[in-house]
Amino acid sequence: MTITNTSILKKLLLLLLVFTGIYFSKAFLMPLLFAGILATLFLPLCNWLEKKRLPKSMAVLVCFLSLTAFFSGLIMLVSWKISELINDVALIKQTAIETGVIIQDYIFNHLNITAEEQFKILKEEQPSYTSIMQVVVGSFVYVLSTIIIILVYFIFLLYYHNHIKEFMLKLVSTSQRNEMEKVIYGASNIAQQYLTGLSKMIVCLWVMYGIGFSAIGVKNALFFALLCGLLEIIPYLGNIFGVSITILVSALHGIPFPVLLGIVVIYGSVQFIQGFILEPLLLGPQVKINSLFTVIALTLGALLWGISGIILAIPATAILKIICDNIDTLKPYGFLMGEPYGKGKEIGWVEKIKNRLLHLSKESKNN
């Protein structure tokens, strides 16, 4: 079968139209996708409550209250640790001023630019106070309105999930409904698996970073452990950013170099445990997107939707992979996005540990 230039051109144009539509519909699609992923996470709880003869509206309300309670508690915990960090602002400010003076001297000695000229350049480059306040207020209003929209979508997606499922089944012929049910189940299951595994991994990272940072004497160790763990929602970049902030603030506190080096060692050790033990055990092979498509997804997410796109890139790609895996014409693309597991390949030691833990879990339930 020959692939004509016309068919290739049509596919490229279709791909271009899809990405163009995604880019310009960010205000609509982004909250809907966030709410959809959160709704699939709470769907098992909602179904369980309904099976216990709780009215659907009450089941959705319980899920909504659980979601808001979790994020409210998390925000309160982070705010509490930030308030402790603010107590050291005077020390950090003094250290920053001393560092600024050293940088000014270095620029004067090597570039022959006086401190007055440097200050003049910085003053010209700095935005006005009014413009800064406009940006801050505008960002706050945008974030608040987006959160409200996400919560509204979350409620109605949970309430109408059966209705939406029936609609999707009616889109295909009777002979294809089994395949469509597999796609729907797989997509919702993969989102649940990803978010549940990610939540467990973040908790494990909190524990490991908290123990490590406390052991070497990092000030406000719990706050930085929470920060590094939460930033795991941004693959690759999140942990690097969190550890960089930890090193920077610790350096401004006057922490000695061996401790700063210890932070780097802890980061490397945690990343090793995360990559070779936690991810295979908690996320599983179905969610595993190969490194090439992980980077592609993160890059496209950043280009299309910024930070929101980076956060949504991996779960959206995992769902797309499940859809491709269950549609015959798209199976090659699902194979391309996944890891190259060959037939007859020997099971790795991590997989053996996982299988053993699953076996012990089943035995304990049976007993």
Which residue ranges make up each domain of the chain? Answer: 31-171, 178-341+348-360
Quick one: tokens of 108? 């004067």
Q: Which of 22-26, 68-72, 153-157 has the highest mean pLDDT?
A: 153-157
3 state SS for 31-71:
HHHHHHHHHHHHHHHHHHHHHCCCCHHHHHHHHHHHHHHHH
Burial (CB count within 10 angstroms: exposed 0-12, middle 13-18, buried 19+), residue 35: buried
Burial (CB count within 10 angstroms: exposed 0-12, middle 13-18, buried 19+), residue 26: middle
Burial (CB count within 10 angstroms: exposed 0-12, middle 13-18, buried 19+), residue 288: middle
| Distance from C-alpha of 364 to C-alpha of 362, rounded to nearest angstrom | 5
Quick one: tokens of 74? 């998390």
Which is more confidently placed, 185 or 363?
Answer: 185
Let me know: does 82 contact 177? Beta carbons within 8 Å: no
Say if residue 344's pLDDT is above 50: no
Let me know: does 297 contact 315? Beta carbons within 8 Å: no
H or E segment and range at residue 262 = helix 257-273
Say if residue 102's pLDDT is above 80: no
Q: What is the DSSP letter of 175?
A: G
H or E segment and range at residue 92 = helix 89-111
| Distance from C-alpha of 273 to C-alpha of 279, rounded to nearest angstrom | 9
Q: What is the pLDDT of residue 347?
A: 46
| Mean pLDDT taken over the chain | 75
Say if residue 190's pLDDT is above 60: yes
Q: Using alpha carbons, list the distances in angstroms from residue 198 to 63, 120, 316.
A: 19, 47, 14
Direct distance between the N- and C-terminal alpha carbons of the chain, in angstroms, rounded to an integer = 57
Say if residue 101's pLDDT is above 70: no
Of the CA atoms within 13 Å of residue 332, those in its CB half-sphere come to 1
| Distance from C-alpha of 223 to C-alpha of 209, rounded to nearest angstrom | 10
Q: Please state the rounded mean pLDDT for residues 302-309.
A: 83
Say if residue 8's pLDDT is above 70: yes
| Distance from C-alpha of 111 to C-alpha of 15, rounded to nearest angstrom | 50
Residue 40: closest CA among 235, 309, 315: 315
Distance from the Cα of residue 49 to its chain's centroid: 28
Of the CA atoms within 13 Å of residue 167, those in its CB half-sphere come to 5
Say if residue 40's pLDDT is above 80: yes
Kindly tell me the sign of the dihedral angle through the C-alpha atoms of 68, 74, 75, 76: positive
Residue 312: closest CA among 237, 236, 233, 228: 233
Quick one: tokens of 157? 């997606």
Task: Pick the range with the lowest mean pLDDT from 189-198, 323-332, 339-348.
Answer: 339-348
Q: What is the pLDDT of residue 135?
A: 60
